[in-house]
Amino acid sequence: MHFLCFASGGVIVFGNGMSKKPAVSVVIPTYNRSKLLAERAVRSVLSQTYKDLECIVVDDGSTDDTEKVVKALAENDRRLRYFKKENGGQ
């Protein structure tokens, strides 16, 4: 397992080695960072030359347009998945 960190939050990269599922899952936690998320983190992951991956955005209850931005990007790339949860606080 590798751990990378962007300025907008942590990015966790897992390799699963399974043939039917992507070999790599990149998990991007976010909260109210729609512009940075779309322009930097998600586009960076999806533009990699290695294509056997999925990008999972976990939204911690953002109140901005994060959901709209990520879902719009997901319409063009099936490797992008979005999950929203209630804000964890702090």
pLDDT at 77 over 80: yes
DSSP state of 20: S
pLDDT band of residue 70 (cuts 50, 70, 90) is very high
User: E strands, the chain, where?
Assistant: 2-6, 9-15, 24-30, 53-59, 80-84
Q: How far is CA 88 from CA 1, 45, 60, in A?
A: 25, 25, 7
What share of the chain in percent tops pLDDT 70?
78
pLDDT band of residue 4 (cuts 50, 70, 90) is very low
